[in-house]
Structure 1
C-alpha cells in the first residue's frame, strides 16, 4: 500500500517516467531485447517482433500460452496511456464485484452531480438571450429581429472557433482545472451583458461567451470516459441531459420572478444575467476544488481504489488519458467514415436548435401575455426531462438500442413541424403543443453524442471526434437562427418545412446508416476474434539503465490504441 501511495504521488507530480515492472493482465516476467530491435513509427500500425525476439520472449513466458505475439500491437512507453505509469510500478488485482460496486457508487456520487448541475447551468446560461427577449433587452439595446437572430448565431461562431483549441487544451492540461477556469470566465462574461446597450456591444460579448462554452461538453465527456464503463455512460448521458434540458423550467420561473423586480433602469433581463452569471462563477469555484482531473487524482478514492477504478472500466479497452498529441490518430479520425456520419448528425440535428432563443417570442406571438409566456415556456423543460429520463430507463434495461431509441424520439419532432404547418392560427393551444413536443429531439442529441465518443478510441482520436461532433453542432446553431426570418412571420412556414426535412428526416437516415455500418464492422471483428486473429494484450517498450530494450506485456487499454488498432473494442 505504501508503494502504491508513493507511485500515485509521483504520477500526480509528473515524475513517474522510469518503468520497472509489469502490468496487470499478463504474467510478470519480461525479456530485454537488444536496443536495435523493432522500431515503432507513430503514423503506422505497430510492427511485429522479429522471429528471434518472439522465440526468446516466448521462452521466458512459457507459462502464458494464450498470448499471441504475432497479433500484438507494440508502442514505446511515451505513447502509452497514463494508466501504464501506475500499472508499470505496482500490481493490483481486479476489483471484486463488491469492490467495483463500491467504487462505482463513490464515482457516481462525486462526479454525476457536477455533470448534472453543469449541464443545467449551461443551458440556463444559453437561454439567457431567449429569456431576455421578453424581459426588455430588445428595447434597451435597440435590437431588431435580424440583429437578435445574429446575436444567437455569433455565439456559435465563437463556439466553432474555439472548439479545436479547447479540445487540444483538454488533452494537454488537467481536465477539471481547465473546465473550472472556463466556467468562471463564462460566468464573468454573462455579467458583461449588463452594461451592453447596443447591438455591437452585445455582439462582442456573445462571441466571447461562445469561446468559453466550447470547453464544457467535451470536458464532461472526457471525464465520463475516465471513470465509467460505456454501458454506464449510455445511461448517464440521458440522465444528465434530462436535468440539463429541464432548464426552461428554471429559466421560466426566474423570468417570472424578475418581472416583479422594479429597480427603474436596471431592467428585469439584467437581474436575470446577474443571477445566472453569479451562480456559474460559484459553480466554477466548486469545480476547481472538488472535481477530479482523472482517476489518478481522485482524492475521494484511496490510492488502491484509484488503481482499481481504472481496472473497473478496462472493458472499455480505451484507457483513461494521454497528454501527448498523436498526429497519426488525428489523421485516422478525419479519415474514418463514422466520424463524418456523427458530424453530419450533429449538424442536421442542431439545425432546429435555433428555436431555443425563439420559444418566448413564438409563444408570445400566439396571443399569450408575457407572464403567461414565461410560465408556458417551462413545459418544454418538463417534456425534455421526462423524455430523456425515459430514454435513460430504456437504455438501462436494453442492449444495443441507441439507434432505435433515437429514431423514436425524432417522431414527435417531425410531428411538431407538421402541426405548426397545418393547424390554423386560431388554434393556439394546438400550435403551442407543436412547440412543446419538439423537445423530445434532445434524446438523440444526448444518445448519439456519447455513442460517437464510445465508438472511437485513442485519446487524440477521441478528442478529435468529439471536437468535430461539436463543430457540426456549432455550424448547425450558426445557421439555425437565420431560419427565423422576419419576412416569414408569424407562421414561419418555410422554417418548419426545412426543420422537418433537415432536422428530423435527415438525422434519422444518418442514424440508420451508422447502425448498419457499425453492425457490419462488429461482425467483421467477431470473425477475426473467432479465428484468434485478435490479441487482447500488447507490448510496450522501455529502455533499461544499460540502454537495452525491455518489453512489457500489458492489456490493450494501457496502450492508448485507436479503435482500428485495438480490434477487441
Structure 2
C-alpha cells in the first residue's frame, strides 16, 4: 500500500449530475474568455471567508458575459499570495531542468548552512543547563533535584506562552529579520545565566529563553516550504536535524574543555555560557543581514530566478506566504483531524525529551567520573547524526515511506526502556547503551514535523498547524522533566515504564492512524480526479485608485488556498 504523503488531496464533494452539466457549460466560457482552464469543485461552506465570496447561483454563463463564472476561485489582490505581486511585475516561463537545478543549488548553498548551524546552536544552547549540571551550576545556585527539574520545565512554559504570538509574528513580519532578531535575543539571554546565583533568578532567565526559542523551528519550517519541494523537504529535514542532534558532541567536547579553565569566582559552567551565548549572538547578526525572507526577496537570485524559484516548487500546489491572517483558515486547521493527530504525536514523542537535561547526571550516576561523563555524552550526538543521515539517504532514494521510517525509529526507543528496566545496576555499559540508542527517535520527530507542514496548505492554516504541533512539543517538554523524581533515583523504573508506553507506543499509534487517514483520503481524491476535471486557475481582482477593477487569471498556487480548497494538493 503506497502512501501519498506530499500530495494530500482533501475536502471536495463530488458534484451532482445537474451541477456537472452546468460546469461543463461554464468551461466553454472560461476557455473562450480566460484561456484554457478546466473545472474545479466549488468551495464548500466551511471554506467561505469574508474576503473570498462565490456566487451561490448555478447559472450557465454565455460567451458574451464578461464577468467570470461563479465557481472560479476569486479574491482581492490584498489576500493573494505574495508570489502574485512578483508575477504581476514580470512574466517568465517554467525553468528548464538545467535552470531548476541551478536555482535549487543556489538555494541549498545560501539557505541550508543557516538552517543547519541554527539547529545546532539551538540544541547546544538548550543543553546548556544539562551540561552545566556537572560543571557546578547546581552547587553555585544552591539547587535541589526538584528545582533543577523545574528549570527544565519552565523553559517550555515560556516556549508554550510564546508559540502562538511568535507564529503570528512570522506571518506578519519578514521571516529572516524576525528570526535573526530572536537569535540575538536568545544569545543575550543565554549570557544572562552568568550572574544568576539562585533558583529564582535562573527560573526567570529560563522562562525568557523559552520565549525567544519559540520562533526558531517554525521559521525554519516556513523557509523550507517557500524554497524547496515537498520531496526535497523530506530529505533536508533529517539532514538539518542530524546536525542539530549532533549537538551533544559539541556540548561534550566544550564541557570537557572548560573544565580545564581555572578562574577564581568564575566557574566552568559560566565559561560554557559565555562561549555558547556569544556565538549565538554573532550568528543572529549574520542571519539578520543575509538570511532571505522569501523567494520574492532573495537577493542572491535575479528577479527572473526568483519567479522561476516559485515556479520550480509549483508541484507543492501551495503558495509562498501571505501576510494577512485569515480566520476561516484558522478554523479549518483546528477542525481538521490530522492537525490533532500531529499535535498528539508531538506531545507524546517529546515526553522523553526530559533526558536532554538528565543525560549527564544519569551517566555520572552509573559510576563514571565527570571527565568520562563529558566524553561519553558525545556518543548520543554521534548516534543521532548517523541515524538521521541514514534516514535522509533512505528518503532520497525512496518515495512514500515517511511513516515506515518513523515507526522503525521507535523500535530502539522502546528497547532503550526495556534495557534500562531489566539490566542489573552493575552492567553500566549495558545501561549506558540504553541511553545512547534512544537517540534514534529524533528521526520520527524530524520526519513527522515536516510531514505536518507538508499536508497543510494556506499560509494561515500552515502556520496554525505548525504552532499547534509545537504547542504539543512544549507541553511534552514541560511534563517530561517531572518524570525524573528524586524518590525514583537511581533506577527511575516508573520513568522508563512511562516512556515506553507514552513516548514509544503512543506516537507509533498516531503515525499508523495518520497513514490510514491519508491513504484513504488520497484514494478518494484519485477517484475524483479520474471522474472530473480539476481547474488549476482562479481569479484575482485588483482595485485601482480610480475605482476601476481589473481581474487576472492566475494559477491556484497564487490564491493562498488551503488543502481542503485545492483538489490538486
TM-score over 0.5 (shorter chain): yes
Q: Map of 1:402-551 to 2, 5 A cutoff?
A: 402-543=402-543, 547-551=547-551
Matched, 1:82 2:82: yes
Query: What is the number of equivalent residue pairs in this alignment?
Result: 530
Segments of 5+ residues of structure 2 without an aligned counterpart are 1-29, 36-42
Is this contact kept in 1: 2:48–2:328, CA < 8 A?
A: no
Alpha-carbon contact 1:414-1:500 (below 8 Å) kept: yes
- 1:126 matched residue in structure 2: 126
Q: Deviations over 1:23-56 (max 9, x none)?
A: xxx999659xxxxxx9x95269852586778434
2:141–2:198: 8 Å Cα contact kept in structure 1?
Answer: yes
Q: Describe the SS at the equivalent of 2:479.
A: helix
Q: Matched residues in 2 for 1:29 and 1:387: separation?
A: 55
C-alpha distance in 2 between matches for 1:43 and 1:347: 34
Q: Which runs of 5+ in 1 are unaligned?
A: 1-25, 32-37, 62-68
Per the alignment, residue 318 of structure 1 pairs with: 318
SS in 2 for 1:406: helix
Structure 2 residue aligned with 1:55: 62
Separation in 1 of the partners of 2:397 and 2:411? 22
- Relative distance call for 1:438 and 1:58 in structure 2 (3 A) is farther
Q: What SS does structure 1 have at the residue aligned with 2:553?
A: strand
Q: Hey, what's the Cα distance between the residues in 1 that align with 2:78 and 2:500? A: 49
Q: Distance in 1 between matches of 2:423 and 2:124?
A: 31
Q: Secondary structure at the match of 1:550?
A: strand
| Greater mean alpha carbon deviation, residues 523-532 or residues 554-563 | 523-532
**Counterparts of 2:541 and 2:555 in 1: how far apart (Å)?**
14
Residue 265 of structure 1 corresponds to 265
1:71 and 1:533 in contact (8 A); partners too: no
Provide closer, same or farther for how the CA distance between residues 538 and 49 of structure 1 changes in structure 2, counting only shifts above 3 A: farther
2:152 is the alignment partner of 1:145: no
Q: Are the aligned partners of 1:251 and 1:378 in contact in 2 as well (CA < 8 Å)?
A: yes
TM-score of the superposed pair, with normalisation by structure 1: 0.90
C-alpha change, 1:77 and 1:492, in structure 2 (3 Å) is same
Cα distance in 1, alignment partners of residues 470 and 548 from structure 2: 45
Question: Do the aligned partners of 1:45 and 1:565 also contact (CA within 8 Å) in 2?
Answer: no
Aligned to 1:192: 192
DSSP 3-state at the match of 2:62: helix
Q: Deviations over 1:276-299 (max 9, x none)?
A: 000000000100111000111111
Quote the Cα distance in structure 2 between the aligned partners of 1:289 and 1:557.
Answer: 29
Offset at 1:552?
2.0
Post-superposition offset of 1:551: 2.9
Distance 2:506 2:452 in 1: 17
- Aligned residue in 2 for 1:276: 276
Q: CA RMSD in A?
A: 2.1
Relative to structure 1, is the Cα distance of residues 44 and 182 closer, same or farther in structure 2, using a 3 angstrom cutoff?
closer
Equivalence for 1:366: 366
Q: Match of 2:95, SS?
A: coil
Q: Distance in 2 between matches of 1:184 and 1:198?
A: 25
Q: 1:72 deviation in Å? A: 3.4
Aligned to 2:286: 286
Give the match for residue 379 of structure 2.
379
Give the Cα separation in 1 of the matches to 2:194 and 2:31: 63
Q: Is the 8 A contact 1:30 1:57 kept in 2?
A: no
C-alpha contact 1:124 1:276 (8 A) present in aligned 2: yes
Alignment CA distance shift 1:58-1:532 (3 Å): farther
Tell me if the contact between 1:249 and 1:382 (Cα under 8 Å) persists in the aligned partners. yes
Q: Can you list the C-alpha shifts for 1:444-502, whole angstroms capped at 9, x where unaligned?
A: 00000000000000000000000000000000000000000000000000000000000
Look up the SS of the partner of 2:551 in the other structure: strand
- Aligned equivalents of 1:545, 1:207: Cα separation in 2: 48
Q: Distance in 1 between matches of 2:77 and 2:31?
A: 18
The match for 2:553 is 553
Deviation, structure 1 residue 70: 6.9
- List per-residue Cα deviations over 1:240-270 (Å, max 9, x = no partner): 0000000000000000000000002100000
Whether contact under 8 Å (1:95, 1:308) holds in the other structure is: yes
Distance 1:87 1:27 in 2: 21
Q: Retained in 2: the 8 A contact 1:48–1:74?
A: no
| Distance of aligned partners of 1:468 and 1:475 in 2 relative to their CA distance in 1, 3 Å threshold | same
